[in-house]
């Protein structure tokens, strides 16, 4: 692949890897390797600033130093506080604003342990001494039993009827999604007629909404599968897509949408469940599955919203007059994936969990067990046990109040961003762009009507590249954003929209947000000027020449847009003054197009 054409020897603002990635995108576009509308993943991570709860970090440190389970950490805490361990456990319960009922979880661990005939308190004394050395993963490579039991209780708290054997651990959402797609798109091993082991490929399609988490695009492609973007993730659109199902294997949605930050309402989720269960009732041997992304389990910016779990729904709760549907349960068709990456601020733990009771008809193992096989094979035993316990700590010890405090911060950043947008638009005397009003998370979408943009900006990938390079990589210029194309917002199978979307983050310090908008403003002002030149008419030019007192002066006055060198060239064109105003307009328009193209190709 062609390397990015980054100017040598200059210090680049931002992350070089991003520039490299953008260069790669541009190079791919030039080679027409744009299978999914330039939807390449330019993620290098690390933009997230909210830290995990300190107790999660302490739990991780404790495991690394003492090789204990989470209970070992809790026992140390109880000792420091001079309270009984049983009483300390009681503190961590949904009634007190925590996700997991620790007493219920450890009671289940007790019931499942060889010590279930002893007292609970005695069991805790034994259990707290359990050591988990890194080699513990040789036997439990998809999550320690303690973690699986506690996480089953976490899922139960989200109204999902999970049991520990229906939970699997991976290294975050992406890893689990990858394993799930592998399971959906390859068969179990069979012995063929000649006695050889075979695993048949089953490439397929995952339905995703217009505006979906960008990193989904990769996993299906390893199996020659693909995403299919549908306009809306609701009952009607899913039913329509399933009418001509083709090789659709599953439907994906995130309850808190990335990039829009919309929280999917319960009604809509019930509609999705109706579509799936009705379809599966008619196709019991070839059901469609649901991937419910619940990595955001909070981070709500508005009151009265809730994160609703589709896997909590039974057919009977949907109020449909259909006995078959009434006997079904969404947990049997849904793989719910969670990770502490987002709401709990612990992306660096690289841990996630999936829960499901789904099975592909004809398979010997259920989907969770098959995912476990894939994950185990790729080396989950390499996962740091301490990271697992840290992630578990994030789930167990992060109170809602901590999450809400983070959300308050994000809200203040949103107000700050809105102020910047108003200032930019009022200085330009037009609504050059707007930002959305997210329900949750910390991203904002900037929407730029195409009518304000120069012709050379063909799609959001161009717009992204423009904002990185419009000042030609001079120090302290350029911003990093993600283009809407990566989220399926410009899916080739859907009607084009009259605006381009960029996603940026509010998760940064206020002064960095100010700096972001200062740089963005520079890029916007330049776009606006180029657009004005591009749409110049003879009469407008005549007026402009009069105001500037001459054509040369007018041309030189565009120095904020074009380099002085280019302008001097332009003025020195032989016979310039003999040209008609229309001809001069055309020359200026060509110059404007050239300027945009030069920025987008990173040339000088
Ligand atoms: C909707 C959504 N799902 C999943 C992830 C990634 O999760 P993980 O860090 O566990 O891979 C993200 C992160 O950006 C996300 O926004």
Ligand 1: residue of 44, 170, 173, 444 to mutate (most ligand atoms within 8 A of CB) is 173
The three state secondary structure string of 4-29 is CCCCCCCCCCCCHHHHHHHHHHHHHH
pLDDT for the residue 56: 93
User: Residue 166 corresponds to which tokens in the numbers above?
Assistant: 């229906």
Give the whole-angstrom CA distance, residue 36 versus residue 484. Answer: 12
Dihedral angle sign, alpha carbons of residues 577, 578, 583, 587: negative
Dihedral angle sign, alpha carbons of residues 158, 161, 165, 167: negative
214 in Cβ contact with 234 (< 8 Å): no
Ligand 1 centroid from CA 343, angstroms = 10
Give the whole-angstrom CA distance, residue 62 versus residue 58. Answer: 6
Burial 527-553 (b: 16+ CB within 10 A, else e): bbbbbebbebeeeebeebbeeeeebbe
pLDDT for the residue 50: 74
Q: Is the CB of 174 under 6 A from ligand 1?
A: yes
pLDDT per residue as tens digits for the range 342-357: 999 888 889 999 999 9
Q: Is the CB of 293 under 6 A from ligand 1?
A: yes
Statement: the pTM of the whole predicted model exceeds 0.75: yes
Ligand 1 centroid from CA 342, angstroms = 7
Ligand 1: residue of 44, 258, 383, 387 to mutate (most ligand atoms within 8 A of CB) is 258
What is the position in ligand 1's atom list of the atom closest to the CA of 351?
10
Ligand 1 centroid from CA 173, angstroms = 6
Phi then psi for residue 207, to 5 deg, are: -80, 130
pLDDT for the residue 24: 56
Q: Is the CB of 345 under 6 A from ligand 1?
A: no
Q: Which of 36, 164, 142 is nearest to 483 (CA)?
A: 36
Q: Is the CB of 341 under 6 A from ligand 1?
A: yes
Q: Is the CB of 254 under 6 A from ligand 1?
A: yes
Ligand 1 centroid from CA 317, angstroms = 30
Ligand 1 centroid from CA 259, angstroms = 11
Helix (H, G, I), strand (E, B) or coil at 487: helix
Report residues of the chain scoring pLDDT below 50. 1-19, 33-47, 603-604
Give the whole-angstrom CA distance, residue 513 versus residue 442. Answer: 12
Dihedral Cα 262, 266, 267, 272, nearest 10 deg: 80
Dihedral angle sign, alpha carbons of residues 160, 162, 168, 171: positive
Please, which residues have CB within 8 angstroms of residue 566's CB and are 6 or more apart in sequence?
A: 591
Ligand 1: residue of 151, 259, 341 to mutate (most ligand atoms within 8 A of CB) is 341
pLDDT per residue as tens digits for the range 89-143: 999 999 999 999 999 999 999 999 999 999 999 999 999 999 888 766 667 778 8
Give the whole-angstrom CA distance, residue 169 versus residue 161. Answer: 17
Measured at the CA of 288, the angle between CA 287 and CA 292, to 5 degrees, comes to 135
Q: Is the CB of 173 under 6 A from ligand 1?
A: yes
345 in Cβ contact with 52 (< 8 Å): yes
Ligand 1: residue of 42, 295, 486 to mutate (most ligand atoms within 8 A of CB) is 295
399 in Cβ contact with 98 (< 8 Å): yes
User: HSE of 585 in the Cβ direction (CA atoms, 13 Å)?
Assistant: 16
Terminal CA-to-CA distance of the chain, rounded, Å? 22
Burial 352-391 (b: 16+ CB within 10 A, else e): bbbbbbbbbeeeeebbbbbbbbbbbeeebbebbbbbbbbb
Ligand 1 centroid from CA 581, angstroms = 54
pLDDT for the residue 555: 82
Ligand 1 centroid from CA 503, angstroms = 15
Ligand 1 centroid from CA 27, angstroms = 27
Ligand 1 centroid from CA 341, angstroms = 7
Place of tokens 């901590």: 402
pLDDT for the residue 480: 82
pLDDT for the residue 308: 97
Q: Which of 19, 20, 15, 21 is nearest to 42 (CA)?
A: 21
Distances in Å between the Cα of 42 and the Cα atoms of 20, 347, 358 are: 9, 17, 33
Q: Which of 330, 364, 332, 255 is nearest to 300 (CA)?
A: 255
Q: Is the CB of 347 under 6 A from ligand 1?
A: yes
Ligand 1 centroid from CA 168, angstroms = 17
Q: Is the CB of 162 under 6 A from ligand 1?
A: no
Ligand 1 centroid from CA 334, angstroms = 18
């Amino acid at each position: 692949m062609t390397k990015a054409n980054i100017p040598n020897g200059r210090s680049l603002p931002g992350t070089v890897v991003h520039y490299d990635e953008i260069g790669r995108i541009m190079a791919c576009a030039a080679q027409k390797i744009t299978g999914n509308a330039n939807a390449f993943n330019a993620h290098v991570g690390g933009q997230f600033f909210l830290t995990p709860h300190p107790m999660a970090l302490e739990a991780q440190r404790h495991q690394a130093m003492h090789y204990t389970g989470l209970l070992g950490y809790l026992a140390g805490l109880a000792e420091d506080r001079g309270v009984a361990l049983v009483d300390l456990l009681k503190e961590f319960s949904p009634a007190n604003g925590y996700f997991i009922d620790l007493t219920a979880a450890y009671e289940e661990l007790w019931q499942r342990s060889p010590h279930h005939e002893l007292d609970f308190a005695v069991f805790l004394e034994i259990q707290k001494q359990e050591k988990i050395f890194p080699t513990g993963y040789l036997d439990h490579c998809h999550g320690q039993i303690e973690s699986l039991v506690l996480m089953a209780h976490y899922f139960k708290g989200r109204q999902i009827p999970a049991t520990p054997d229906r939970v699997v651990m991976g290294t975050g959402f992406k890893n689990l999604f990858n394993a799930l797609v592998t399971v959906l798109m390859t068969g179990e091993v069979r012995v063929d007629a000649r006695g050889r082991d075979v695993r048949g490929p089953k490439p397929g399609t995952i339905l995703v909404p217009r505006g979906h988490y960008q990193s989904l695009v990769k996993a299906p492609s390893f199996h020659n599968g693909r995403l299919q973007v549908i306009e809306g993730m609701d009952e009607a659109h899913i039913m329509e897509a399933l009418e001509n199902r083709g090789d659709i294997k599953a439907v994906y949605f995130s309850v808190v949408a990335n990039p829009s930050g919309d929280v999917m309402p319960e009604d809509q989720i019930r509609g999705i469940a109706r579509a799936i269960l009705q379809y599966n009732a008619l196709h019991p041997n070839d059901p469609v599955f649901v991937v419910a992304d619940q990595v955001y389990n909070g981070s709500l910016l508005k009151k009265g919203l809730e994160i609703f779990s589709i896997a909590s729904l039974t057919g009977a709760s949907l109020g449909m007059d259909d006995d078959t549907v009434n006997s079904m349960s969404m947990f049997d068709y849904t793989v719910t994936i969670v990770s502490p990456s987002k709401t709990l601020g612990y992306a660096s733990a690289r841990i996630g969990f999936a829960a499901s009771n789904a099975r592909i008809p004809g398979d010997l193992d259920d989907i969770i067990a098959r995912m476990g096989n894939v994950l185990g094979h790729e080396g989950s035993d390499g996962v740091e046990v301490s990271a697992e316990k840290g992630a578990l700590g994030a789930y167990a010890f992060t109170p809602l109040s901590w999450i809400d405090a983070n959300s308050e911060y994000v809200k203040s950043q949103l107000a700050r961003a809105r102020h910047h947008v108003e200032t930019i638009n009022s200085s330009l005397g037009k609504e050059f762009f707007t930002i959305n009003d997210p329900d949750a998370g910390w991203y904002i979408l900037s929407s730029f009507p195409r009518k304000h943009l120069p012709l050379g900006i063909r799609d959001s990938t161009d717009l992204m590249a423009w904002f990185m390079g419009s000042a030609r990589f001079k120090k302290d210029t350029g911003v990093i954003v993600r283009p809407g194309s990566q989220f399926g917002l410009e899916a080739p199978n859907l009607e084009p929209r009259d605006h381009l979307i960029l996603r940026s983050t509010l998760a940064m310090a206020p002064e960095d947000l100010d700096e972001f908008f200062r740089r963005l403003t520079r890029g916007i002002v330049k776009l606006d000027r180029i657009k004005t030149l591009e749409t110049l008419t003879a009469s407008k030019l005549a007026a402009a020449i009069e105001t500037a007192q001459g054509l040369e002066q007018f041309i030189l006055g565009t120095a904020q847009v074009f380099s002085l060198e280019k302008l001097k060239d332009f003025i020195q064109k032989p016979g310039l003054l003999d040209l008609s105003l229309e001809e001069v307009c055309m020359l200026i328009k060509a110059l404007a197009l050239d300027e945009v193209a030069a920025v987008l190709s990173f040339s000088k």
